[in-house]
């Protein structure tokens, strides 16, 4: 389906223009498609993050759905309470969705998320991953990639990114997916699918961030595409413990089709001090991850 056809399938814009996100924000681009897929009967819960700022204050907020701005660690717990209240009121047609940053998900919010998933809470938890604590000026998170500069990793981060999507798959929830707004149809369809599944659904979206990653604002969509084409970000779904690669990633099972990671890294100022040997190290790590995806794609259960 073309973007034009997607817009005619979901013409209503629930994410309004004139919001306070930075130019070229990958997170708000993703949110626009997420809201198109969810529709108006949606409650968004957002912990402390850029999202609190760009959603804004009622009655001048940029989202034309209900939303709760919530304390940093509490998104999963707040969503659980809203789900329980809606169940008590017998309201079955409202989507409860957490929209949280990587810091609020991978680090500080993980226990509330894990508890909600373990209870099988009927909601969609979406992490938009800009790979650092951006709202407070770019501190490292568990999701920051190896080598990236942040104010708390002035010589580049020494650890690889934590894989929260796989951690959530190990919770035995019915649906886990990864996405990126550069592939809007893929993102839109995954949220539509998640909406119709009962229980806890987890979607992890890579959200390129021009000021935090230090690239020109017009390159946001290209940056997401390069993340996927180099294999540094992998698009997939996990259902019933079985992983299937989404079309843009599936063709990359053939390693010769993957672009070298340097093509992605060298466009971003956050990696400007990364040496060639470190790029080779990141490449080796990516190749090792792909050996695992190959096994999953052959039918090996994810946990
Ligand atoms: C308990 C607590 N600690 C710290 C903060 C300050 N704080 C607000 S937003 C934020 C960064 C959030 O990072 P992330 O979840 O990745 O979202 P992003 O800002 O990148 O969108 C921090 C540290 C806070 N609000 N509450
Ligand atoms: S800092 Fe990044 S994620 Fe936050 S509003 Fe700006 S572009 Fe978006
Ligand atoms: Mg972040």
130 lines ligand 1 (CB under 6 A): yes
Sign of CA dihedral 296, 244, 267, 25: negative
Pocket test for ligand 2, best of 128, 134, 208 (most atoms within 8 A of CB): 134
Q: Is 136 inside any structural domain?
A: yes
Pocket test for ligand 1, best of 21, 102, 103 (most atoms within 8 A of CB): 103
215 lines ligand 1 (CB under 6 A): no
Residue-range definition of the domain harbouring residue 151: 3-297
We report the CATH number of the domain holding residue 142 as 3.40.50.970
163-215 tens-digit pLDDT: 999 999 999 999 999 999 999 999 999 999 999 999 999 999 999 999 999 99
Q: Is 173 inside any structural domain?
A: yes
Among protein residues, the one whose CA lies closest to atom 5 of ligand 2? 21
The pTM assigned to this predicted structure is 0.98
pLDDT higher than 80, residue 120? yes
Q: Is 302 inside any structural domain?
A: no
Instruction: Please give the pLDDT value at position 301.
Output: 95
User: Structural domain tally of the chain?
Assistant: 1
Q: Is 303 inside any structural domain?
A: no
33-55 tens-digit pLDDT: 999 999 999 999 999 999 999 99
pLDDT band at 5 (very low <50, low <70, confident <90, very high): confident
How far is the centre of ligand 1, averaged over its atoms, from the C-alpha of 103 (Å)? 6
Q: Is 60 inside any structural domain?
A: yes
Give the length of the chain.
Answer: 303
Nearest ligand to the CA of 207 is 2
Q: Is 159 inside any structural domain?
A: yes
Share of the chain above pLDDT 90, in %: 92
Residue in the structure block whose two tokens are 């800009």: 130
Average pLDDT, the chain: 96
pLDDT higher than 80, residue 1? no
Instruction: Please give the pLDDT value at position 59.
Output: 84
143 lines ligand 1 (CB under 6 A): no
242-267 tens-digit pLDDT: 999 999 999 999 999 999 999 999 99
pLDDT band at 17 (very low <50, low <70, confident <90, very high): confident
Nearest ligand to the CA of 98 is 1
121-161 tens-digit pLDDT: 999 999 999 999 999 999 999 999 999 999 999 999 999 99
């Amino acid at each position: 389906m073309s973007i034009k056809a997607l817009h005619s399938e979901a013409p209503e814009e629930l994410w309004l223009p004139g919001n306070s996100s930075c130019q070229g924000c990958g997170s708000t681009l993703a949110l626009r498609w997420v809201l198109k897929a969810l529709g108006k009967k949606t409650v968004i819960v957002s912990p402390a993050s850029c999202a609190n700022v760009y959603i804004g204050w009622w009655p001048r907020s940029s989202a034309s759905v209900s939303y709760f701005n919530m304390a940093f660690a509490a998104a999963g717990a707040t969503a659980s309470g809203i789900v329980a209240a809606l169940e008590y009121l017998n309201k079955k047609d409202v989507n409860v969705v957490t929209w949280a940053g990587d810091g609020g998900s991978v680090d500080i919010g993980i226990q509330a998320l894990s508890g909600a998933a373990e209870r099988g809470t009927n909601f969609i938890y979406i992490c938009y991953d800009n790979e650092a604590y951006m709202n407070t000026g770019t501190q490292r998170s568990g999701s920051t990639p190896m080598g990236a500069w942040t104010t708390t990793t002035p010589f580049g981060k020494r650890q690889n990114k934590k894989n929260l999507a796989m951690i959530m798959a190990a919770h035995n929830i019915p649906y886990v997916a990864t996405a990126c707004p550069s592939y809007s149809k893929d993102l839109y369809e995954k949220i539509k699918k998640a909406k119709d599944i009962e229980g806890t659904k987890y979607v992890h979206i890579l959200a390129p961030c021009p000021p935090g990653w230090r690239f020109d604002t017009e390159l946001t969509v290209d940056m997401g595409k390069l993340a996927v084409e180099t294999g540094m970000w992998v698009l997939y779904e996990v259902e019933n413990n079985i992983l299937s690669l989404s079309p843009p990633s599936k063709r990359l099972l053939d390693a010769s089709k993957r672009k070298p990671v340097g093509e992605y890294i060298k466009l971003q100022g956050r990696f400007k001090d990364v040496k060639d040997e470190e790029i080779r190290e990141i490449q080796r790590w990516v190749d090792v991850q792909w050996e695992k995806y190959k096994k999953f794609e052959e039918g090996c259960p994810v946990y």
